[in-house]
Structure 1
Amino acid sequence: MIRTLQTGQRCEVRIASVSSRSELLYSTGDILLEAANWTLDGQALILNGDGKLWKLDVDSAQLSEIPLTGIADLNNDHVLAPDGEGIFLSANDGHIYHAPLEGGAATRVTKDDGYFHFLHGVSPDGAELAYVGIEAGDFSRPGRLMVMASDGGAAARIDVGPGHCDGPEYSPDGAWLYLNTESFSTAKGHAQLARVRPDGSGFEQLLQSESVDWFPHLSPDGRYASYLRFPRGTVGHPADLPVDVVLVSTADWGAPLRTWPLSGGQGTLNVNSWSPDSACFAFVAYPLTDPAKDQARDA
């Protein structure tokens, strides 16, 4: 399903720095953009919108489509390859693809194995993918943490308990997979932040909270992390809720360095959006606002 903006709603791509500033980079009432990745050269953000892939230049704030062929409409799960030249993408047909970041023909990576595949992580050496598998595309079933070779092949499940999990991505050193999971609670939807080693050992909760916490993303230097905080009682990661983007030090997940409240959720912070120098990260908000009052601002 391709998401679109509501009447009177805008899409805001924002950049937050570890020094706690947030600036509006791009705003539009025409297309709902989601899930920013930062390119390795630091010059652009890669987002999806309208089922397509887009490049947003950081200096000029110019948006341009990256033309792809051989792939179904995209969803908001995409991760750059470590070489900076390719990108792995999840599509609405339930499969993961690889494509040149400059555009061109996409190649399907996953097989018809009875699962929908939602990509979130690529290992630092580019050899392995981490994704969430949904059996038969039945979203009433919990997502399972899966890994597979990035050039295809059989998948392996990593056991992180019975609860739904999402957002698995590798730490910069490849030693851990960071994710959110409902396995620490019997309350439906009560996702919490966790990590596990790629061999399935060391599964642990990072933060015990009353909120519903999703999508932990580590900075390239491993010193900071961002994540998305939903209101208590939220089930899944729906759109258009009052949420918080949270910045923490990885030395103390329980002490936020800064939070940014906004209207969003789905699409806001689905993938790792840190800049290559670890100085800032991007996120997307979806306010209902008066376009005449829309302007760049600091927060």
Structure 2
Amino acid sequence: MRHFISFLIFIAAGLGFSQSSVGIFNNNRDIGEPKNKGIASYNEGSQTYDLSGSGYNVWFDRDEFNYLFNEIEGDFIITANLKFTGEGENPHRKVGLMIRQSSAKDAAHVTAALHGNGLTSLQWREKKADSMKNPQTEITAPKTNYEILQLERKGDLVIMRAAHPGEELQKIGSHKIDWNGKVLAGLFITSHDENATAKAEAWNVRIDKPVPETYDPNEQGWIGCRLEIMDIDTQKRKVIYKKNGRFEAPNWMPEGKKLLFNMDGSLYNIPVQGGEITKFDTGFADNLNNDHGISLDGKMLAFSHHRENKPGWGSTVYVMPMAGGTPKLITEETPSYWHGWAPGNDTVAYVATREDNPTFDIYKKSVNGGKEIALTNTQEGEHVDGSEYSPDGKYIYYNGSSSGTMQLWRMKPDGSQKEQLTFDANNDWFPHISPDGKWIVYISFPPEIPVNDHPSYKRVTLKLMPAEGGVPKVIAYLYGGQGTINVPSWSPDSKHFAFVSNSGERE
């Protein structure tokens, strides 16, 4: 599966479900007849879920647990971080993700379960009133204490993946169940003790729906997007804005209180806590793409604007004062895509092709005039992109495919001493350096994506690694790509990172 979108469905089904909305879920209720009532609550500020539930178990031919769920039709993927809270409870208590045929206590279901003792497993009841049995109805993970769980419904196949923090998702197992139509999907918790109540926390909860492999957003319409902010220390994510349409590429404003992003050819501001968006005045430039950024002193804005009737899509680099004014053309030749400011605030870096050089290369040029300087010399079939200066000005970081896959590199500002930083089978793009100079966040595409391409609506990860090089770790699993982090996206204090994930319904 190569093309993905995210699609949240909130359908109030006429099946007697509780209509108490909790976060992204429409329904919360006890399944079976547990002695102690369970409940789920949602913290709007942190976008986390507190789960509590009782019940003898989710096993044999009937279940007792608390369920937080939506009714969903078609293929989808649900992902969440989960952990138990409180100590001294039954080691066989369970929390996790469940896809269920109905709310009946003996309904068929497939469950990704984290147990109190750390066991992680895929388990199922194939038909209504069937008995679940070991080992016939369970696949146990090779390692324990997974924190990130994922269930994917793909036709009649349900796939479980899991990851420890910082790791790639691994397939734990899959099972085919002959289900048609709508199902229930969400978070569950059971105490495995009729007289006790188990508690757990869930965060980074997302429901995503894949598109067909032939899906082309340019022809079939752009789906929605989420604007998200991540706390780098905790890796907890918050959605601050979403729209059933396209927007991309957030910058953090210098004062740290707003974000700047592009939508419909213009730039917009939004408070970091969410709220009303306001248009940022870029004068005559009203056909911007997703390459824009603020100088390190916070006084100037650079962006790429498409000029009509120009070759190479007409994209050229402009700069203007953040306080307002007329944009100033920096690159006459097209196409040119801005990507970085030098620390002196007088030079920009960009990628471009030229009449005598049809491959994309990295260039730099003074905003005060003069000739542009080529910093790379790519060969046919290669590509470079994402040029960004380190805060101390010692390096320009970028992504390039000269090794055969797209990897992260850095070089001196004069183009010398090129050094490869990542070495993996994925295709890595758009390195962004934290303002304190310590870290890189980048987007990683799976190997099946063409090496020089970075399309939208793909299963991608965001990764964090030391700026001097080192072992990367995964900090986010999402659907995204083009527009997710094309531009510098760090907060001024280096504690948060902003990005766009693909989600929602098509307009």
**Same fold at TM > 0.5:** yes
In the alignment, structure 2 segments of 5+ residues that lack a partner are: 1-216, 307-313
Answer yes or no: is the 8 Å Cα contact 2:228–2:239 preserved in 1: yes
Q: CA deviation at 1:136?
A: 5.0
- For 1:154, which of 338, 361, 371 is the aligned residue? 371
- 2:463/2:472 contact within 8 Å kept: no
Verify the 8 A CA contact 1:17 1:280 in the aligned structure 2: yes
Give, in whole Å, the separation in 1 of the partners of 2:369 and 2:423.
Answer: 36
How far off is 1:25 after superposition?
A: 1.4
Q: Equivalent residue of 1:143, what SS?
A: strand
C-alpha deviations, 1:180-224, integer Å up to 9, x for none?
A: 001112xxxx21100000122210100101000000101001111
Distance (Å, rounded) in 1 between the aligned partners of 2:218 and 2:408:
29
* Distance change in 2, residues 1:289/1:245 (3 Å): farther
**Unpaired stretches in structure 1, ≥5 consecutive residues:** 292-299
* Identity %, equivalent residues: 33
The residue that corresponds to 1:27 in the other structure is: 242
TM-score by structure 1 length?
0.86
Distance 2:348 2:494 in 1: 22
Q: Could you tell which deviates more after superposition, 84-93 or 63-72?
A: 63-72
Q: In the alignment, residue 169 of structure 1 is paired with which amino acid?
A: E
For residues 233-255 of structure 1, give each alpha carbon's deviation from its aligned partner in whole angstroms, at most 9, with x where no partner exists.
Answer: 32211111111111223354323
1:238 is aligned to 2:465: no
Q: CA contact under 8 A between 1:96 and 1:108: conserved in structure 2?
A: yes
CA 1:107–1:10 in 2, change beyond 3 Å: closer, same or farther? same
Q: Distance in 2 between matches of 1:46 and 1:6?
A: 27
Residues 385 and 398, structure 2, Cα contact 8 Å, conserved in 1? yes
Query: Is the CA contact (8 Å cut-off) linking 1:110 and 1:152 kept in structure 2?
Result: no
Q: What secondary structure is seen at the aligned counterpart in 1 of 2:249?
A: strand
Matches of 1:73 and 1:218, distance apart in 2:
27
Structure 2 length normalisation: TM-score?
0.52
**RMSD, aligned α-carbons:** 2.3
Residue 266 of structure 2 is aligned to residue 69 of structure 1? no
User: How far apart, in 2, do the equivalents of 1:58 and 1:254 lie?
Assistant: 30
> Which residue identity does 2:303 align to in structure 1?
L
Summarize the Cα distance change of 1:137–1:269 in structure 2 as closer, same or farther, 3 Å threshold: farther
Q: Cα–Cα, structure 1 residues 160 and 261, in superposed 2: closer, same or farther, change >3 Å?
A: farther
> What letter is aligned with 2:342?
S
Within 5 Å, give how 1:84-163 maps onto structure 2.
84-92=298-306, 93-112=314-333, 115-135=334-354, 141-159=358-376, 161-162=378-379, 163=382
1:195 aligns with 2:410: yes
Partner of 1:273: 489
Q: Secondary structure at the match of 1:269?
A: coil
Cα distance per residue 1:5-49 (max 9 Å; x no partner): 9669321000111111111111122x4211111011101111111
**Cα drift, residue 259 of structure 1:** 2.5
Indicate if the aligned counterparts of 2:464 and 2:472 stay in contact, CA closer than 8 A.
no
Pairing 1:182–2:401 present: yes
Superposed CA offset, 1:266-286 (max 9, x none): 000101100000001100001
Task: Please name the residue that 1:294 is paired with.
Answer: none
- Confirm or deny that 1:263 pairs with 2:482: no
The corresponding residue for 1:296 is: none
Asked if the contact 1:66–1:102 (Cα under 8 Å) also holds between the matched residues in 2, the reply is: no
Cα distance in structure 2, aligned partners of 1:239 and 1:171 = 27
Cα distance in 1, alignment partners of residues 228 and 356 from structure 2:
32
Instruction: Find the structure with the greater CA-based Rg.
Output: 2
1:45 pairs, out of 235, 241, 259, with 259
Q: CA deviation at 1:86?
A: 2.1
Distance in 1 separating the partners of 2:366 and 2:325: 22
Cα separation, 2, equivalents of 1:239 and 1:8: 10
Partner residue of 2:225? 11
Residue type of the partner of 2:395? W
Structure-2 residue corresponding to 1:216? 431
Looking at structure 2, the residues matched to 61 and 261 of structure 1 have their Cα atoms a distance apart, in angstroms, of 25
Cα distance, 1:270–1:88 mapped onto 2, change above 3 Å: same
Equivalent AA in structure 2 for residue 274 of structure 1? W
Change (3 A) 1:285 1:232: same
1:27 maps to a residue whose letter is K
CA shift at 1:111, angstroms? 2.2
Distance in 2 (CA, whole Å) between partners of 1:205 and 1:229 is 15
Pick which of 265-274 and 238-247 moved more.
238-247
How far off is 1:72 after superposition?
Answer: 4.8
